A and B are shown apart, each in its own frame.
Chain A
Amino acid sequence: MRALAIAVLTCLAACGPAAAADLEANKLLIRAYYEEVYNKHQPEASDRFVAKDFIEHNPRLPHEGLAGTKKFLNTVFAGFSDYHAEIQQLVAEGDWVVARMRFTGTNDGPYDGRPATGNKLVFSTSNFYRIENGKIAERWDVVDTLARAVGLGLVPAPNAPTPPASR
Chain B
Amino acid sequence: MRSLVLAGCVMAAALSSARAADVEANKALYRHYIEDTWNKHDPSAVGRYLAPDYIEHNTNLPPGLEGRKKFMATVLTAFPDYHAEIQEVVAEGDRVVARVQFTGTNEGPYDGRPPTHNKLSFNTADFFRIADGKIAEHWDVVNVLPRLIALGLIQPPAPAPKPADATAKPH
**A interface, CB within 8 angstroms of B:** 2, 5-6, 9-10, 12-13, 15-17, 19, 23, 43, 64, 67, 70-71, 74, 88-89, 91-94, 96, 98, 100, 110, 112-114, 124-126, 128, 140, 142-147, 149, 154-155, 158, 162-167
| Cβ–Cβ < 8 Å partners of A145 in chain B | 143-146
Are A112 and B160 in touch, CB under 8 angstroms?
yes
Q: Using known A-B contacts A12-B13, A92-B92, A96-B90, determine if residue A166 contacts B148 with beta carbons closer than 8 Å.
A: yes
Sample of 14 further A-B pairs with CB below 8 A, known A126-B127, A165-B110: A13-B10, A64-B170, A67-B170, A89-B139, A91-B127, A92-B90, A126-B99, A142-B99, A145-B143, A146-B145, A146-B148, A155-B154, A162-B60, A167-B58
A140 to B97, CA, bound (A): 13
**B interface, CB within 8 angstroms of A:** 2, 5-6, 8-13, 15-16, 19, 23, 58-62, 71, 74, 87-88, 90-92, 95-97, 99, 110-111, 123-125, 127, 139, 141-148, 151, 153-155, 157-158, 160-164, 170-171
Across the interface, name the chain A residue whose C-beta is closest to B15. Answer: A16
| Cβ–Cβ < 8 Å partners of B13 in chain A | 9, 12-13, 15-16
Least CB distance, A69 to chain B, in whole angstroms: 11
A44 to B39, CA, bound (A): 45
Are B151 and A165 in touch, CB under 8 angstroms?
yes
Most B CB within 10 A of own CB, among A17, A70, A145, A163: A145
| Cβ–Cβ < 8 Å partners of A98 in chain B | 90, 97, 125
A130 to B9, CA, bound (A): 31
| Cβ–Cβ < 8 Å partners of B160 in chain A | 112-114
Least CB distance, A70 to chain B, in whole angstroms: 6
Across the interface, name the chain A residue whose C-beta is closest to B8. Answer: A13
| Cβ–Cβ < 8 Å partners of B144 in chain A | 144-147, 166-167
Q: Using known A-B contacts A91-B91, A91-B95, A96-B90, determine if residue A164 contacts B60 with beta carbons closer than 8 Å.
A: yes
Are B170 and A5 in touch, CB under 8 angstroms?
no
Least CB distance, B72 to chain A, in whole angstroms: 11
Which residue in A13, A70, A126 is a CB contact (below 8 Å) of B171? A70
| Cβ–Cβ < 8 Å partners of B88 in chain A | 96, 128, 140
Are B16 and A125 in touch, CB under 8 angstroms?
no
Least CB distance, A124 to chain B, in whole angstroms: 5
Are A13 and B12 in touch, CB under 8 angstroms?
yes
Q: Using known A-B contacts A100-B127, A128-B99, A154-B158, determine if residue A165 contacts B111 with beta carbons closer than 8 Å.
A: yes
In the A-B complex, the 10 residue pairs with the smallest Cβ-Cβ separation, listed nearest first, are A16-B16, A126-B125, A13-B12, A9-B9, A146-B144, A154-B157, A113-B163, A145-B145, A12-B13, A142-B125
| Cβ–Cβ < 8 Å partners of A163 in chain B | 111
